[in-house]
């Protein structure tokens, strides 16, 4: 391709380190789309004649069919997807294939392909997250009133409902979808026509190519168009945050499925056995999702490290961008599909959840609130009173509602029989009626809100 300047070929090691075709062949569809938009514009603007434009388009159609049928031969000596397609085009239509590269560079060509690919990846992530939300929603709808322990510091804190707990993840994944949507909006500008870095002297129509490829507009600065990889970093950042949320949910499923908790059962479809212990049922799908989070975050860190010291505009360092993005996309999309299927498949165990919600004095806050509300004590004083009653219950080895009224009155004489109305798990859950609270009536509101969004 650059033989006019060079007298000898590359060293053998260059033939190993330079090619990117092994991974950037995934950009074939995007490369063909970009080339079609470019050549149509060249023909429309009279930069190449219409016969040559027609021949090039016909050749690109044939190449697309060859790729779809698995008949296209990708050659490492041609380095990348762009030269592989251009070389095959020349074989099909002859020398006029060389006119396709008029007024563009591999620099704007590759980043156009890459933006198109990442745009599609944002859309795929959104669709996969939608399915995870639907699976969570379906379980939450069935268990809007199922009582379970809520934890802080991994200690029993207050009773909540399983539906409320699951809807927390619906909210998280909703924000993840928003991040992918925002990333898609920001990246949806076309670099095509920026050429190597400075633009081109040919009278091209960048608006036409941008519109043809579904971009909102052309990027305004040719140097920025070539060098910017923040769109890939933003996508990877969204992937990383989403993977962290998946990891948190996966960790809970691992915990909940242990005999010590027993909150959920995972079927044979999402567990494995042990090679030595016949009784084992291991939550491998959840563990793998949790483990893959490190890989996705690593992809973000790797690309950020590649880009951080690059001066404008292009360096071959940027060849390292695609593998990191491809890996993160593959990993996240697989994890999302697995999570959606696993959540849909799990079976909740309400009796185990309720039994686990009883120890640890989870209605102590309800006792303190009752003292504030009925006895008109300041909350800090009420907190002390409730803590003292909890200490008394601990000493006697009983639950709060198993203490006698006289025993409670030994701590605070003004306490009345009415206090027992707030000490049950059901009373506690039902009382949490603040907006976004765990009361089944409030969970029903959350379900109503999301039902329309998840149709």
d(CA 347, CA 270): 12
Backbone angles phi, psi at 217, to 5 degrees: -165, 165
| Catalytic-residue membership of 274 | yes
| 99 touches 48 (CB < 8 A) | yes
Output the CA torsion sign for 357, 358, 360, 363: positive
Single out the catalytic residue among 267, 274, 404, 416: 274
Q: Which of 153, 201, 275, 434 is catalytic?
A: 153
Residue 72 burial (CB count, 10 A)? 18
* Length in residues, the chain: 455
* 153 is a catalytic site residue: yes
Helix crossing, 162-187 with 230-256: angle to 10°? Answer: 170
Place of tokens 């686990």: 356
| Nearest-10 crossing angle of helices 28-44, 81-93 | 60
Active site amino acids: 153, 274
């Amino acid at each position: 391709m650059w033989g006019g300047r060079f007298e000898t070929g590359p060293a053998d090691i260059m033939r190993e380190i330079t090619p990117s075709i092994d991974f950037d062949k995934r950009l074939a569809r995007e490369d063909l789309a970009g080339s079609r938009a470019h050549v149509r514009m060249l023909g429309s603007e009279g930069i190449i004649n219409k016969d040559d434009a027609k021949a090039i388009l016909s050749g690109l159609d044939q190449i697309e069919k060859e790729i779809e049928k698995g008949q296209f031969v990708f050659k490492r000596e041609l380095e990348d997807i762009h030269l592989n397609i251009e070389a095959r085009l020349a074989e099909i239509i002859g020398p006029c294939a060389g006119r396709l590269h008029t007024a563009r560079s591999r620099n704007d060509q590759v980043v156009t392909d890459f933006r198109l690919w990442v745009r599609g990846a944002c859309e795929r992530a959104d669709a996969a997250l939608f399915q995870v939300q639907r699976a969570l929603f379906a379980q939450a709808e069935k268990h809007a009133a199922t009582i379970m322990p809520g934890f802080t510091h991994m200690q029993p804190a207050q009773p909540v409902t399983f539906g409320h707990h699951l809807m927390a993840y619906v909210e998280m994944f909703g924000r993840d979808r928003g991040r992918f949507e925002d990333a898609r909006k920001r990246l949806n500008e076309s670099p095509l026509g920026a050429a190597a870095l400075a633009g081109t002297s040919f009278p091209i129509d960048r608006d036409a190519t941008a519109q043809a490829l579904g971009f909102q507009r052309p990027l305004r600065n040719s140097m920025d168009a070539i060098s910017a990889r923040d769109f890939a970093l933003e996508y990877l950042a969204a992937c990383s945050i989403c993977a962290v949320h998946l990891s948190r949910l996966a960790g809970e499923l691992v915990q909940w499925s242990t005999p010590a908790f027993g909150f959920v059962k995972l079927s044979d479809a999402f567990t494995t056995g042990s090679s030595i212990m016949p009784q084992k049922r291991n939550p491998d799908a959840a563990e793998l999702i949790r483990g893959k989070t490190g890989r996705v975050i690593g992809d973000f860190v790797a690309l950020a490290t590649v880009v951080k010291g690059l001066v404008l505009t292009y360096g071959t360092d940027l060849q390292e961008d695609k593998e990191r993005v491809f890996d993160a996309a593959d990993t996240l999309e697989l994890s999302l599909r697995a999570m959606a299927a696993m959540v849909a498949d799990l079976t909740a165990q309400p009796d185990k959840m309720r039994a686990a919600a009883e120890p640890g004095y989870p209605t102590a806050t309800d006792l303190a609130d009752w003292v504030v509300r009925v006895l008109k004590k300041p909350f800090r004083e009420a907190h002390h009173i409730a803590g003292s009653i909890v200490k008394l219950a601990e000493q006697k080895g009983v639950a709060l509602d198993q203490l006698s009224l006289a025993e409670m009155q030994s701590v605070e004489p003004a306490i009345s029989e009415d206090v027992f109305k707030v000490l049950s798990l059901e009373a506690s859950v039902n009382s949490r009626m603040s907006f976004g609270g765990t009361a089944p009536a409030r969970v029903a509101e959350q379900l109503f809100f999301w039902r329309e969004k998840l149709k």
